[in-house]
């Protein structure tokens, strides 16, 4: 059987039950999860690994597909819409009377199919469930609507089956046996990468790789060094900015994310390095973990 892999974004208001849903969907199968409840604002919530598939759950529709798409064999899948998830789960509380406009706004411009999950039906009645289903059908015309109770795990298996049916055929995006230190390095590099995406225009993130060269832990401090690899001097200049100001901004925000995430003080050093055309050089791809 072929292998499936993809990104599933869970979006919805903070009280909609996203975390409960995550726990119900992922159960014991979780490989990595952010360490504390409040960190769900981070992109990756968890990864479900199985011999035949890998589901990367994340909590924003602005999922950036990692640059693991660099092998030429995958290049044709890189379209202009790299910020799209493969599937979006919109979690909404059945008793939510307020406007869901802010959440719907996040869906604008996403090309991914949307599934509406009407949660907390255990706190409601059949008539209300029916009304809500009609409401969402008209409002969004989603690919599917499920009435669920994440807390009581009602209809969770159906959602899981639906996700698997709709995952694209694709090799795993992340290694299947993350070890914890690897894990932490991975998160650190993702947080830097996230800032590179936020602070610069398209062409910079496309040509950038982030390598964690040092990760030293002590009780109250993590010392982290990172290399940001680009392909040309002009890109290096843009990344660093006038008097190093741009890189400072990236460093400041990335460090804050890390301090939140690791609950430690972070000492972060970043260097920008030019490796001409690194994306097409096999030995670099190998070094960066793209090829076995």
Pick from 116, 140, 166: which residue ends a domain? 166
61 is annotated as contributing to ligand binding: yes
- pLDDT tens-digit profile of 20-31? 787 788 764 444
110 and 220 housed in the same domain? no
In the structure encoding, which two tokens stand for residue 231, read together? Answer: 């392909």
Q: Is residue 240 part of a domain?
A: yes
Predicted pLDDT of residue 79: 33
Residues 6+ away with beta carbon under 8 Å from 19 = 37, 40
Pick from 106, 134, 166: which residue ends a domain? 166
234 is annotated as contributing to ligand binding: no
Predicted pLDDT of residue 98: 60
Q: Is residue 154 part of a domain?
A: yes
15 is annotated as contributing to ligand binding: yes
46 is annotated as contributing to ligand binding: no
Q: Is residue 173 part of a domain?
A: no
Q: Is residue 93 part of a domain?
A: yes
More confident residue, 79 or 156: 156
Q: Is residue 271 part of a domain?
A: yes
Name the residue range of residue 199's domain. 180-287
Domain count, the chain: 2
Give residue 183's pLDDT band: very low, low, confident or very high (50, 70, 90): low
23 is annotated as contributing to ligand binding: no
- Closest of 18, 11, 13 to residue 150, by C-alpha: 18
Residues 6+ away with beta carbon under 8 Å from 34 = 40, 42, 44, 45, 46, 261
Looking at 75-89, 161-175, 197-211, which range is the least confident one?
Answer: 75-89
66 is annotated as contributing to ligand binding: no
Has residue 287 got a pLDDT over 70? no
Give residue 159's pLDDT band: very low, low, confident or very high (50, 70, 90): very high
HSE, CB side, 13 Å, CA atoms: give it for residue 73. 6
Interval 206-219 mean pLDDT? 83
Predicted pLDDT of residue 106: 67
60 is annotated as contributing to ligand binding: yes
- Please state whether beta strands 53-58 and 44-49 pair in parallel, antiparallel, or not at all (unpaired): antiparallel
Has residue 65 got a pLDDT over 50? no
Residues 6+ away with beta carbon under 8 Å from 174 = 47, 54, 56, 66, 68, 186
**Please, which residues bridge with residue 216 across strands?**
223
16 is annotated as contributing to ligand binding: yes
């Amino acid at each position: 059987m072929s292998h499936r892999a993809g990104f599933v974004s869970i979006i919805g208001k903070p009280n909609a039950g996203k975390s409960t849903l995550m726990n119900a969907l992922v159960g014991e199968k979780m490989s990595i999860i952010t360490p504390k409840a409040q960190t769900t604002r981070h992109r990756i919530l968890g990864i479900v690994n199985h011999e035949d598939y890998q589901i990367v759950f994340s909590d924003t529709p602005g999922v950036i597909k990692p640059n693991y798409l660099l092998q030429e064999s995958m290049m044709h899948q890189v379209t202009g819409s790299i910020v799209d998830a493969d599937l979006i789960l919109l979690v909404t509380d059945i008793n939510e009377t307020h406007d869901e406009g802010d959440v719907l706004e996040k869906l604008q411009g996403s090309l991914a199919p949307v599934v509406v999950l009407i949660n907390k039906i255990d706190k409601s009645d059949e008539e209300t469930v029916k009304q809500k289903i009609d409401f969402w059908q008209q409002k969004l015309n989603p690919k599917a609507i499920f009435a669920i109770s994440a807390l009581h795990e009602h209809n969770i298996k159906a959602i899981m089956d639906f996700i698997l049916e709709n995952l694209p055929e694709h090799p795993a995006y992340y290694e299947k046996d993350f070890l914890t230190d690897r894990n932490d390095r991975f998160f650190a590099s993702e947080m830097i990468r996230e800032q590179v995406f936020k602070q610069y225009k398209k062409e910079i993130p496309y040509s950038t790789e982030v390598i964690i060269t040092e990760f030293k832990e002590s009780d109250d401090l993590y010392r982290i060094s990172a290399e940001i690899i680009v392909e040309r001097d002009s890109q290096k200049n843009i990344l660093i900015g006038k008097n190093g100001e741009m890189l400072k901004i990236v460093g400041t925000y990335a460090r804050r994310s890390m301090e939140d995430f690791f609950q430690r003080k972070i000492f972060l050093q970043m260097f920008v390095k030019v490796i001409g055309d690194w994306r097409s050089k096999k030995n670099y791809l190998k070094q960066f973990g793209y090829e076995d």
